[in-house]
């Protein structure tokens, strides 16, 4: 309930950095992890929220492009899988903050405070970059690695 109040009170341009009443007065539970998007929406408004979602969309599009350009079937599947996981993190947290899904404790990637999700996302991005670097490498069909 408090996250919906925080998101709505941000308006178009927001209240300003550090000036959100819901987030600064501790009305938002777990504002640094689970409800960081609500705090961002309150302080930076629609413009800030839309900008963050646009950056997330750009990351997803670039990662999917890397997946499609790979000549290796494993590279395509690995990059697409990591990208799908990243997108699901964003969708679940966004729906959770807006009250469309139950609060399950999924933090917003690259934005929330938390080591495990950051480590997981960075390892996934490393895998996507490895697929990008080795996009022309193709394993012979019918032969495994061993």
Q: pLDDT (tens digit, 9 = 90+) per residue, 8-40?
A: 667 787 777 766 666 666 666 666 677 888 888
pTM over 0.75: yes
DSSP state of 110: T
* pLDDT tens sequence across 103-126: 887 888 888 887 788 899 999 999
8-45: burial string, b at 16+ Cβ within 10 Å, e else:
ebbeeebbeeeebebbeeebbeebebbbbbbbbbbbbb
Distance of CA 60 to the CA centre of its chain: 9
**Residues near 2 by Cβ (< 8 Å), separated by ≥ 6?**
22, 27, 28, 29, 35, 38
Q: Mean pLDDT, to the nearest integer, of 60-65?
A: 96
Report which of residues 4 and 57 the model is more confident about: 57
Mean pLDDT of the chain: 83
Residue 145 pLDDT greater than 70, yes or no = no
* CA-closest candidate to residue 15, choices 36, 55, 53, 46: 46
Three-state DSSP state, 57: helix
pLDDT at 146: 47
* CA gap 102, 128 in Å, rounded: 30
């Amino acid at each position: 309930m408090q996250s919906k109040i925080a998101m709505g009170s941000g308006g178009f341009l927001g209240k300003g950095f550090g000036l959100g009443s819901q987030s600064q007065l501790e009305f938002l539970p777990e504002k640094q992890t689970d409800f960081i998007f609500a705090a961002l929406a309150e302080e930076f408004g629609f413009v800030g929220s839309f900008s963050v979602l646009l950056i997330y969309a750009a990351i997803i599009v670039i990662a999917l492009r890397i997946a499609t350009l790979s000549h290796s079937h494993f590279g395509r599947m690995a990059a697409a899988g990591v990208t799908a996981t990243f997108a699901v993190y964003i969708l679940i947290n966004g729906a959770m903050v807006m009250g469309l899904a139950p609060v399950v404790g999924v933090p917003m990637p690259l934005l929330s405070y938390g080591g495990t999700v950051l480590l997981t996302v960075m390892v996934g991005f490393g895998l996507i970059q490895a697929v990008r670097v080795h996009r022309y490498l193709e394993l012979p069909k019918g032969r495994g690695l061993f």
